[in-house]
Amino acid sequence: MNKSPRSAYVHIPFCHRRCFYCDFTVIPLGDKIEPLKGYGSKTINEYLYFLHKEILSIKDKSPLSTIYIGGGTPSILDPKHIKGLIDLFRDNYGIDYGAEITMEVDPASFSADDLYGFIKSGINRFSLGAQSFNNKILKKAGRRHLREDVEKSCFWLKKEYEAGSIKSWSIDLIQNLPLSNFKEWKEDLHKTLSYCPPHLSIYDLSIEDGTVFKKQYDSGKLSPPCEDESYENSKLTSSLLKHFGYSRYEISNYSLPGHQSRHNRVYWKGLGWWGFGQGSTSSPWGKKLTRPKVSFKYKEWVNNQCEKMLDSSLVDKDHFFNELDEKIMLGIRLKEGINIYSLFNEHNWEKQKCVINYGKLLKKWKIFIDSGLLNKCGNRFFLSDPKGMELSNQVLISMFKWWDEIN
């Protein structure tokens, strides 16, 4: 029987506006939000009522070792809201001593006083959504903040970290945004490194359906860096961060020693977690459930869940639903990779089935091993850095073909 999850993700969907690349579940509220009593407060407080109700609906609870408050833009909320959420978990689940409690913050949505309030509320790790330090790139991406906002935020976070008020902090950047060619990307990286963040998340731009970028791209008005430029940017990222002592412990994540994201590793290792809030995904026992992405449907779901406990994935601990292909997909993203035979054994495969299907997968992956994209050590496979990390989709596509064939 699987243990009750020790990690919780909390989705705060509110944003000032939707960025041009964003396809997340967000509720834009405009630029003049007053979260406690002014404009937008009614929407925020109504959402938090249902969010609290959902969090309390879980019957089988264990103390949490990681909490991640993401969005959207959680830093739109007042520190009192954040304290209310953390106190709710502490009083009803328990929070381990030394737990990692992360909150995403946007450079244009909080002040130094807000940051101090979030820390007093219990946040000990922050993830700053900078995306770039270049004003032209930020404007082109539909971001609300400017370079000076990012610089102030980095200064405040660095100061609190060095004072010991928080355990860690991270900067998010997006690689290959429009107007971000080699020169601009190099400047962004050097500016980022000047603040010595203990952790960096660097995501490749993905143009998603329904976004402003997708419309611009389809009409020929958007020109992100070409494939060769993109690869040069990636090589620079890998070599520069390695030179500054950062370990690429996952395809999009780099850290100094001791600063890996404990919460995100729960996802990548295929462990269970609670997910709360509109559009969030929960996977406590293996089977995934995504909450409704529309506000009134989410509220309806919460009421039904609290009254009737309809969703078995939240209460049924006797079943293990995680598909093997998803475990391989997540595990191969990590620096240490995956032990294929261990995964087979977790799924109770017979020896003959293991041998036959291992051989078929090895045949699919031989071309990547020979070309240096994929390394093999015993039964453990891991991507090379930077080549394998950057071209991981080729390895994954071949794995999914293998999965379809054996099923």
What pLDDT was estimated at residue 315?
65
Residue 143 per-residue DSSP state: -
pLDDT digits (tens, 9 = 90+) for 297-345: 999 999 998 887 766 667 655 555 557 888 899 999 999 999 999 999 8
Reference 235, options 392, 387, 394; nearest CA is 387
pLDDT band at 52 (very low <50, low <70, confident <90, very high): very high
Indicate the domain borders of the chain.
7-268, 324-406
Q: What is the DSSP string of 296-342?
A: HHHHHHHHHHHHH---GGGT--S-----HHHHHHHHTTBTT-EEHHH
pLDDT digits (tens, 9 = 90+) for 254-288: 999 999 999 999 998 888 899 999 999 998 887 78
What pLDDT was estimated at residue 169?
98
Q: Say yes or no: do domains 7-268 and 324-406 share a fold.
A: no
What pLDDT was estimated at residue 1?
40
pLDDT digits (tens, 9 = 90+) for 85-144: 999 999 999 999 999 999 999 999 999 999 999 999 999 999 999 999 999 999 999 999
What pLDDT was estimated at residue 307?
84
CATH assignment of 7-268?
3.20.20.70
The answer as to CATH 1.10.10 being correct for domain 324-406 is yes
Q: Which of 30-44, 176-190, 319-333 has the highest mean pLDDT?
A: 176-190
pLDDT digits (tens, 9 = 90+) for 55-92: 999 888 899 999 999 999 999 999 999 999 999 999 99
User: Is the whole model's pTM more than 0.75, yes or no?
Assistant: yes
What pLDDT was estimated at residue 407?
85
The overall average pLDDT reported for the chain is 92
Kindly tell me if the per-residue pLDDT of 229 is higher than 60: yes
Token reading at 363: 């045949």
